[in-house]
Amino acid sequence: MAAVIEIDHLTFNYENGTPALADLNLSVEPGETVVFIGPNGAGKTTLFLYILGLLRQVPREVTVLGRALTSTQAVEAIRGRVGLVFQNPDDQLFCTTVFDDVAFGPINQGLAPAEVKDRVAQSLEAVGLTGYDHRVPHHLSGGEKRRVGLATIFAMAPQVLLLDEPTSSLDPRGRREVIRLLKDFSGTKLVATHDFELALEVATRVVLLHKGRLHADGPPLKILTDETLLKNSGLEMPLVLRYFVELRGRSGEQLSAISSQLSAKKKDKKADC
């Protein structure tokens, strides 16, 4: 099957000379959920903006859904089929009502008014915000804004989703809700995140970027529990994964011994009550 996204030797520097991406090669297959990790400044956001031609440069090194992005027309043709959810929902929402924000994409796709209405209703329902049509986006909570941001993209029925830090600055419930929405989307996904638990939950593959270069690319658990690799790339393994690695290193017998000790402690506690 043809790749959904192919990137061939991509190097990108910002106009002020800051290097952001260096000799990047990548191929994403249909149905994959590729999670990009890397410290701040690694190039994750730049990569997503570049793929969608949002950096004032035709992304010649990129092929999306079989189409080489060698012209602005080619880039425009794939917008809508590939949806980018920005890290900050305020960059995504610019209308005075939720309805107008969610309708913006489908209207630009040239859909008839009745279909636009249906798309808005379906997208708001998918993100659990039915009835929010007339609300003012900038008055919503962070979690609600994030969900409207997702609805604006869902409304265009994209085949590929790019999500930049989708769980950042959300409370635990908002975060869980966004993870559920990501899991429900059956198309190909590229997700940039610092949230390793999110990565473990949704990724079929993890790509580690460091200083604009691809440092590692492989199975989620392998990359996310490789302490040396993470350290050398300016990252740290979260405590919960540290425990996991610690436990994984023990034999089955040791694990059942720990488990018996824990149950014995529980029984003692009960007897004390």
Ligand X SMILES: Nc1ncnc2c1ncn2[C@@H]1O[C@H](COP(=O)(O)OP(=O)(O)O)[C@@H](O)[C@H]1O
Region of 201 on the Ramachandran plot (φ > 0 left; ψ -120 to 50 alpha; else beta):
alpha
Among residues 97 and 168, whose Cβ is nearest to Mg ion?
Answer: 168
Q: Is 235 in the site for ligand X (CB under 6 A)?
A: no
Q: Is 92 in the site for Mg ion (CB under 5 A)?
A: no
Segment interacting with ligand X, rule: CB under 6 A, options 35-43, 64-72, 176-184, 219-227: 35-43
Kindly report the number of other CB atoms within 10 A of residue 56's CB atom: 8
Among residues 36 and 104, whose Cβ is nearest to ligand X?
Answer: 36
C-alpha distances (whole Å) from 96 to each of 88, 118, 262 are: 17, 20, 56
220/218 Cα distance (integer angstroms) = 6
**Among all chains, which residue has been given the structure tokens 């940039």?**
192
Among residues 12 and 99, whose Cβ is nearest to ligand X?
Answer: 12
Minimum CB–partner distance for residue 48 and Mg ion (Å): 8
Among residues 44 and 145, whose Cβ is nearest to ligand X?
Answer: 44
Minimum CB–partner distance for residue 44 and Mg ion (Å): 5
Segment interacting with ligand X, rule: CB under 6 A, options 15-23, 60-68, 122-130, 181-189: 15-23
**Among all chains, which residue has been given the structure tokens 């990569």?**
47
Segment interacting with ligand X, rule: CB under 6 A, options 44-52, 109-117, 181-189, 264-272: 44-52
Minimum CB–partner distance for residue 196 and Mg ion (Å): 16
- Residue of the chain from 45, 152, 167, 193 that contacts Mg ion (CB under 5 A): 45
Segment interacting with Mg ion, rule: CB under 5 A, options 41-49, 220-228, 237-245, 258-266: 41-49
- The amino acid at residue 184 is D
Segment interacting with Mg ion, rule: CB under 5 A, options 40-48, 62-70, 73-81, 179-187: 40-48
39/77 Cα distance (integer angstroms) = 32
Q: Are residues 214 and 44 in contact, defined by beta-carbon separation less than 8 angstroms? A: no
**Which residues, 6 or more positions from 54, have their beta carbon under 8 angstroms from its beta carbon?**
84
Among residues 18 and 141, whose Cβ is nearest to ligand X?
Answer: 18
Among residues 145 and 210, whose Cβ is nearest to ligand X?
Answer: 210
- Residue of the chain from 5, 38, 106, 147 that contacts ligand X (CB under 6 A): 38
Look up residue 129 and give its two tokens: 């915000």
Q: Contact residues for ligand X (CB under 6 A)? A: 14, 16, 18, 20, 38, 40-46
Q: Contact residues for Mg ion (CB under 5 A)? A: 44-45
